[in-house]
Structure 1
């Protein structure tokens, strides 16, 4: 038996052993994280790959698949309802997103102000719509924007001597109603993000502005907004992606009919797949939606990078 040399900190290993401690640790680590990758492969990756494959076939879910090449894409690009869904998605996205940013910044500024009492209570209350069920929100707003005279929306209009509006059939009222649902649900979430950004702004800047006589609007315009630029870009980025995934609100508000005035792209492909049983055209529409999201994402990243470079140069 060889004597042990002092200062030798090397761990003895068994020659010819198949499993070292490093391999055992790696195996245990991969075993613990494997459920996520298995579930993602089954419910995420495989449906995406199969959707690309299915877009070149005609299939109703029961009969054998029939290869049709690019006909599914030709069909959706010749369908006026598909272009209406794209237009509606953009319009509802803009109408629901832009007010979130402006109102969210104002609410965050108020919650960050020392003049507002019970700030923690208001922060909790303003975040509640985000954790509320989407279906419940859509049902409640379906009652608010009821076509009858007793609907809350029409009642408010009657106070100004305006005739009742058919909220779920007319072109702009449909978009106003759905974008209002989106705004109500997400404005609290974006307010919390803006509030987190404001809390990172040194308070000395506001104190110096007050000493110089700056009003509240000037403080928001000259201090808050420029310092919140990364947070604003993040909110615009996430809200843009979310607007293209809008589905539950128009489905609950308009019903399975999904009128042309309010149908979105996700609702369009859902209707093709699960109402008309045309999985090929639905997959083709999903691919077009995927490419649009990739383009918008790349555009957002390009604008973000240019703004970041401009800020560094200045």
Structure 2
């Protein structure tokens, strides 16, 4: 059989296998994945991108919520940089963030290590107990803490008077103690939540790494710093960024417990934005504060991710 005959037979077989609707079927098959993921991106653009762009536009305007926004350029940003209330809110938010980074994250890590230990009885019970504050309504939490730290009839002051004969502390009316109470509330509410992330990371650490460390003569402390922490580096970075984002938006705790007071001692940036937008109807000014806070959080978050080498190959 000649070469030309073989080529003719091959072409005829190829044409016989190709049906008229095959090309159309392949085209629709390529579009199917986009049709499935399309609703997500539609909702993403509708409820995230559009509000972000709208807030960015409003930050350059003077708008009370009704009528047409008036373009004012960078005036809102200039006023923010000279607003003492904004700096107070920024300082309080920074205080909450630093406390959470320095105290809450290490506490959550140590609790996760304890819960992950072998031979621990009632392990699941302890996990549920630490996670309970996450599922409780912030309103209920604020009411309970208000009953505990009330200056006149609070449970804590009653115990201090009965046991130590102490006159009590103005927990919610003193600027310093009010910050302390909000910080305690943040500690109680977020420690269990962050513990879950660390616990999930600890369960993925290979057991043979600990066995190798024991063969090298490493004790529990040395194994923690040489094995546990290096394997938890991505989890730690994720938790750090999560804490940064959440504490930058902290609102329920100071709002429900102290209303940002006394004065502005517990005022957060989120509460500052709330007051500007819904109490003074300065939506453009509030949008500018939100944009500035977003820029600060984004920059610090990127620095944290680079510090932990997340997203880069080693």
| Structure 1 residue 213 displacement after superposition | 7.3
Q: In 2, are the aligned partners of 1:59 and 1:278 still within 8 Å (CA)?
A: yes
Gaps of 5+ in 1: none
Is the contact between residue 97 and residue 183 of structure 1 (CA under 8 Å) also seen in structure 2? Answer: no
Which stretches in structure 2 are left out of the alignment for 5+ residues?
Answer: 1-8
1:288 is aligned, of 288, 292, 301, to 292
Query: Which whole-Å CA distance do the structure 2 matches of 1:277 and 1:294 have between them?
Result: 27
Equivalent position of 2:19 in the other structure: 12
3-state DSSP of counterpart to 1:260: coil
Q: Which residue of 2 aligns with 1:71?
A: 75
Larger radius of gyration: 2
> In structure 2, which of residues 98, 103, 108 is the aligned counterpart of residue 94 of structure 1?
98
> Using a 3 Å threshold, how does the CA distance of structure 1 residues 137 and 293 change in structure 2: closer, same or farther?
same
RMSD over aligned Cα atoms: 3.2
Work out whether residues 251 and 258 of structure 1, in 8 Å CA contact, stay in contact via their aligned partners in 2.
Answer: no
Q: Secondary structure at the match of 1:262?
A: coil
Q: Is the 8 A contact 1:93 1:179 kept in 2?
A: no
Q: Supply the distance in 2 between the matched residues of 1:102 and 1:9 (Cα, whole angstroms).
A: 69
Tell me if structure 2 keeps the 8 A contact 1:193–1:231. Answer: yes
CA deviations on 1:160-198 (whole Å, 9 max, x unpaired) are 555422233323322222222222222112212222222
What TM-score do the two structures reach when normalised by structure 2?
0.83
Matched, 1:136 2:143: no
Give the alignment of 1:1-314 within 5 angstroms.
Answer: 10-14=17-21, 20-148=24-152, 150-155=153-158, 157-158=160-161, 159-160=163-164, 162-206=166-210, 216-255=220-259, 259-305=263-309
* Change over 3 Å in CA distance of 1:282–1:137 after alignment to 2: same
C-alpha displacement of 1:223: 3.9
Say how many residue pairs are matched.
Answer: 305
Mapped partners of 2:196, 2:100: distance in 1: 17
Contact preservation (8 Å) 2:173, 2:261? no
CA distance in structure 2 between the aligned counterparts of 1:232 and 1:117, rounded to whole angstroms: 27
Contact 2:179 2:265 in 1 (8 A): yes
Query: Residues 96 and 183 of structure 1 are in contact (CA less than 8 Å); yes or no, is this contact kept in structure 2?
Result: yes
